[in-house]
Chain A
Amino acid sequence: MSNLVILPILIPLLAGAILVFWRKKLMVVRVGAQLVTIINLIVSSYMAYVILQDGPLILETGGWMAPYGIILVGDGLSIVLVVTTNIIAVASAFYAPNSLDKGREEHYFYTFFLMLIAGVSGAFLTGDIFNLFVFFEVLLMASYGMIVLGGTKEQLRESIKYVLLNLFSSILFVTTVSFLYSVTGTINMAQLSERVGQVNQDGILTTIAILFFVVFATKGALFPLYFWMPHSYTKPPAVISALFGALLTKVGIYSILRVFTLIFIGNIDYTHTFFIFLAGFTLLFGVAGALSTNNIKLIIAYNIIPAIGFMVMGIGIFTDLSVAGAVYYLIHDMIIKAALFFLVGAIAIAAGTSDLRKISGLIKHYPLLGWLFFIACITLAGIPPFSGFIGKLLLLKSAFANENFIVAGIGLLASLLILISVIRIFVQGFWGESMSLPTEKRSIKPLYFPISFLLFFSILLGVGAEWFLPHIQQIGVDLMNPSGYVDAVLKE
């Protein structure tokens, strides 16, 4: 029992509600949001220290014992993702004031932003499958608010599709939870793990498992359910795209990772092999999308999809090493996707357009931006010593060890194509004839801080792999042995 676990949810939730009262005083709101995210990062880092030292922290809300009440569980996986979320939150809080227009900031951007952080942290920390649905709704409501903010034509058009799709998958989520409840009689994840394990996952439970997978795959933008994602993520301003791309789809992947390592592990031959197939298609189709467009924001948005493919591949192979690889890649991808969206946002401000055909020769005017973008590109593609390499190494090593040669080959091919798709922005946008820059625009200098802040962590994750890797591997081992989680929660 530790009240610490609820703080990463409570701090942004309360702060978001309080900041509503000063919506016209932008200075108060901006500094408030920045302070809150920094405090939240410190608190969650402290939590991570405690959890990695002494094991999972558990909070039984309202004092109701484990299988009966709603519980919050901070285990290794949850807490590293919460810390990563808060790193992105800090960067976003500093990026937003210098890139958003006044209207959007005044119309409660920071409130939606903090609610989103609260929802995402809650989804990572909850130990109850219905509560997971509730936190999904919290973060989705915040994202609905953000995606329509500004109310331009395209935004409204895309947001209708976004809201309808998420609403449909949420309804499917509730229905699936009620299915699961009628079969097992519980919605506590630890108890579900125990009960599903006892009855040998048969037909009905595998059906439920696949229904859960469809729900999470829709949220996580997996093949063939990714079609809604790229366009709706790129219509709002860069900072909102960054939050969506870095956090929302990853919550879906986290849920797949959690549910299919803890609960539905009785029929691996069927479910997890299915994942490997989908991972292969996701890798190919995502990267094809990224190569097909000239809109720089859209290129980055399409690049979310192959990254999801890599993670699902790790979950599908299902060994200690591959799951650790998926977790490492998840953390890496959250940070680098946020950084890339920030970077293309800065490029769009600097060049006055996001059409790659109209941008050229930016390196003469913005050398720092160019080199930061270059570092981000090679980190994304997984060139050593940067962080993408370590995750891919673990994933591919486990793929070869388990003789999944085809998916490993597709992974390698996709990595190359990912590199081509993003380096294209660098080659066409930064080299060549110097373009005429728009005369009236905002300064992009203040944007360098949040971008470098994220890239710093990304490089740290690669160069300092020796410090992080043992912890991540431990998380992988813990995920593959769900009895540890179950015992910690149910205290048997």
Chain B
Amino acid sequence: MEILMSILAGILFATGVYLLLQRQLLKIIFGTALLSHGAHLFILTMGKLNRGAPPILVEGIEDYVDPLPQALILTSIVISFGVTSFLLVLAYRAYKTNQTDNMEHLRGNDHE
């Protein structure tokens, strides 16, 4: 199961990087979203995917699930959610002001 999940995370990473290298801003943003999904899946996998009881001490139960990766993912999801929404607004504003969403045109040679 871990191997399957790792491959899935790898596919997400690969797709994300491919999209990051595109010229259109929206595709790049989708790329970052896929990358962060890949990262989150990866955290889950790294914490080992085993079944067990919630990590609360109860007599007679010895198989507990590691709660830490879930706490990490939750934090990370909230952050990437915030950043992605910011990035969408920023891309929209940049498109409005610069009249282009093509990264090739956003290079800028300054005013030198």
Contacts and interface: CB of A to CB of B under 8 A. Distances in A.
Interface of A: 130, 134, 137, 141, 144, 148, 151-154, 156-161, 163-164, 167-168, 170-171, 174-175, 177-179, 181-182, 187, 231, 293-295, 355
Contacts of A130: 72, 75
14 contacts: A141-B82, A151-B97, A157-B98, A157-B106, A159-B90, A159-B94, A168-B20, A168-B32, A168-B35, A170-B79, A171-B36, A178-B46, A178-B72, A355-B111
Contacts of A159: 90, 94
Per CB-CB distance, the 9 closest pairs between chain A and chain B, nearest first, are A182-B46, A178-B43, A156-B94, A178-B46, A175-B39, A137-B79, A174-B39, A171-B39, A171-B35
Contacts of B97: 151-153, 156
Contacts of A161: 106
B75 A134 contact: yes
B93 A156 contact: yes
B43 A174 contact: yes
Given A153-B97, A157-B98, A163-B86, 6 more contacts: A141-B83, A156-B93, A156-B94, A158-B108, A178-B72, A182-B47
A163 B83 contact: yes
Interface in B89-112: 90-91, 93-94, 97-98, 106, 108, 110-112
Given A153-B97, A157-B98, A295-B112, A178 B90 contact: no
B102 to A, nearest CB: 12
Given A160-B94, A295-B112, A187 B43 contact: no
B14 interface: no
A167 B47 contact: no
Question: Chain A binding site: helix, strand, loop or mixed by DSSP?
Answer: helix
Nearest to A175: B39
A167 B79 CA distance: 10
A181 B69 contact: yes
A167 B72 CA distance: 17
B90 A148 contact: yes
A231 B94 contact: no
Contacts of B40: 174
A152 B94 CA distance: 9
Interface string B31-46: 0100110111011001
A178 B39 contact: yes
Q: Which of A157, A163, A164, A167 has the most CB of B within 10 A?
A: A167
A167 B32 contact: yes
B76 interface: yes
Interface string B70-83: 00100110011011
Contacts of B46: 178-179, 181-182
A153 B112 CA distance: 16
B8 interface: no
Contacts of B79: 134, 137, 170
